[in-house]
Structure 1
Amino acid sequence: MNCKINRNAAKVLKQMLESEGTEGKMVRVYVTLEHGDHAHYDVKLDTPTVHDEIVKTDKGIDVLLDKREPFLDGVWIKYFYVPQEGFDITNSSKIHHHH
């Protein structure tokens, strides 16, 4: 499975991972809603399960992706400060995107 992260997202995710009470947690991207040819995604801190693949990124952050969910392969985690601050998670290999 593949996952990319932009610089802004890496900075924010590292801050999340370094915050209080996150020992042993990793970044997880998950599908919040799936309909037809596309899905909506979100990100949270979580612990690995037997169904996860730990994907290493070029930003030094490992990401948990559930191997049973095809919409997760190829996700790109971006973080923008304008026009509105927040994550934008897309998967161009799966046609559509969303957060």
Structure 2
Amino acid sequence: MKVKINRNAAKVLKQMLKDQAEEGKMFRVIITHMHGDHAHYDLVIDSPTEHDEVVKTDKDIDIIVDKREKFLDGVWIQYFYVPKEEFVITNPSKEGHGHHHHH
């Protein structure tokens, strides 16, 4: 499984974990709902289970994904400060129509 994350998202997620004081917890990318050829994603704080893969990113933060869900392979977690502060989670490798989820 692959997960990409931009520098801003890694910084914000690390701070959120620190603020929550959640020892041993990580962020999980979940699918909130599907629309045929694309999915909507969200982030939650969680612990890995037997069906998960902990993906090490190049930004020194680990992300949990359910390895049974093909739409999670290749997700891209981004955080933008403008035009407003928000997470944008997409999967360019699975979604041909440019759909994405703002968190």
Using structure 1 for the length normalisation, give the TM-score. Answer: 0.95
The secondary structure found in structure 1 opposite 2:93 is: helix
Q: Count the aligned residue pairs.
A: 99
What displacement does 1:97 show? 2.4
Matches of 1:57 and 1:21 in 2, distance apart?
21
What RMSD, in angstroms, separates the aligned Cα atoms of the two structures?
1.0
- Aligned partner of 1:41 in structure 2 is 41
What displacement does 1:30 show? 0.6
Matches of 2:88 and 2:78 in 1, distance apart?
5
Matched, 1:13 2:13: yes
Paired residue type of 1:69 = E
Name stretches of at least 5 consecutive residues in structure 2 with no aligned partner.
Answer: none
Identical residues among aligned pairs (%): 71
Matches of 1:71 and 1:20 in 2, distance apart?
28
Matches of 1:56 and 1:20 in 2, distance apart?
21
Matches of 1:13 and 1:20 in 2, distance apart?
11
- Aligned partner of 1:98 in structure 2 is 101
Using structure 2 for the length normalisation, give the TM-score. Answer: 0.91
What displacement does 1:24 show? 1.4
